[in-house]
Amino acid sequence: MIILNFYGNIEPTIISKKLGVGISNPPSDWIKGLQDDMLEEMLVYEHNLKIWGKREFKNSKLSNYDLAELVKKAKWNISLEDHNSELEVIARNLVAIDVLDFENSYLQLKNDAMDSPTCEVSFPLKFINFCNKIQNSSKGKDSLNKRIPFSTFSSDEFNEKPRILNFFRAMLNSQLDFENYNKECMSSLVKVGAQIDDYLQKEEDFWILDYIINSMYHDRDYNAYHIFKVMSLIEMLIINPSGNGRTVGELERKLPLFLKDLRLGTTKKVNFAQIMRQLRNKIAHGDFRAIQKLLKRYRDEFMINYQYDEFEYSIENWTYLNICCRLDEVLNEIVWELITNKNQLRALQYA
């Protein structure tokens, strides 16, 4: 069960018809379990409050979750006749993302028994992660208004402590119009789902999308291997596959088109692409000496006057972080183009 950060009683809604992914309130058989998860969260938070009270937060006004106040702020009614508790009311108004229509989903191409085998990361979690990343592209921001919700709880992540109430309280205490935010989230999800469905015209399209969704999932390690993976995806999407395997010149010509950093002129964008191509190749061959030279070259050109805090990261890892963030931005731009205008992207690829 994957819970998202918007709330309220909703009708089950299919986001992507061709993937069968949709959103709904939790099924009845999950309500009790979700209440137990929230109880666990409250107990953990209560324990943390005691610890914080003995330390640096002892003068801060910290308190555990006031469930009655949360329900009141959300303007949800508690049925006295049904003896519903505040926890049950909250659980019933959570919004979950799941594969609601597996029978008509392209996911059957991978496994005709179920959409998410029990020992794998669930597809809905990878899907919502993917949508969150591509909405950060320049065109995605305009189209989706930064209203793709994110996951606040996954029943698959056994080692993670529940934070359902934490995100719910933060949402209620924010300056956002609660009801309007929920409507915008629904609208953005339906919109991105329709774009994905337009992209999915044949089996090959599904396999490409599935490969990208899996590759982009939950990679928080900003290091050499992140660069290698992202550069491989970029090359897969913009380099002519009918060529001789050499990317010299072609990458320098195409990658800068997706660098939206206005502070970088044409020459710097080409230099960035060249360094990324060389860095990817040296990482692939384990040439650590050449990698260090390329990292220094990158710092000298793209990180002038950068404030390095070596109590947080080494200079090498600050460099990796900076590169990875820029490459992720490029990949988001390319993937957005893929799902919204794949013919134009293909024309560029074969140019």
Cα–Cα distance, 153 to 92 (Å, whole number): 15
Query: What mean pLDDT is predicted for residues 162-183?
Result: 90
Q: What is the pLDDT of residue 32?
A: 93
**Cα-trace Rg, the chain:** 23
The pLDDT, as a whole number, for residue 288 is 94
Instruction: Write down the pLDDT at residue 60.
Output: 62
Mean pLDDT, residues 307-325 taken together: 94
pLDDT of res. 245: 65
304-311 average pLDDT score: 92
pLDDT at 290 over 80: yes
Local confidence band at 2 (pLDDT 50, 70, 90 cut-offs) = very high
Query: What's the confidence (pLDDT) of residue 188?
Result: 96
φ, ψ of residue 156 in degrees (nearest 5) = -80, -25
Average pLDDT in the 13-32 region?
A: 96
320 within 8 A of 276, measured Cβ to Cβ? no
Confidence band, pLDDT 50/70/90 cuts, at residue 52: confident
Q: What does the pLDDT look like over 58-107, one tens digit per residue?
A: 556 678 899 999 999 998 887 655 556 899 999 999 999 999 999 999 99
The pLDDT assigned to 56 comes to 66
Average pLDDT, the chain: 91
Comparing 40-49, 271-280, 326-335, 336-345, the range with the smallest average pLDDT is 40-49
Among 23-27, 58-62, 154-158, 302-306, where is mean pLDDT lowest?
58-62
Residue 83: its pLDDT value, please?
53
Looking at residue 59, what is its pLDDT? 57
pLDDT digits (tens, 9 = 90+) for 328-350: 999 999 999 999 999 999 999 99
Better-scored residue on pLDDT, 230 or 114: 230
265: pLDDT strictly greater than 70: yes
Q: Looking at residue 137, what is its pLDDT?
A: 95
Least confident of 68-72, 159-163, 254-258: 159-163
Q: pLDDT of 169-179, one tens digit each?
A: 999 988 888 88
Long-range pairs for 65-68: beta carbons < 8 A, 24 or more residues apart: 65/41, 65/165, 65/169
- What's residue 57's pLDDT? 61
54 pLDDT above the threshold of 90: no
Nearest to 255, CA basis, from 323, 319, 318: 323
Q: pLDDT: is 229 or 218 the higher one?
A: 229
Residues 197, 184 contacting (CB under 8 angstroms): no
The pLDDT value recorded for residue 161 is 85
Q: What's the mean pLDDT in 17-21?
A: 97
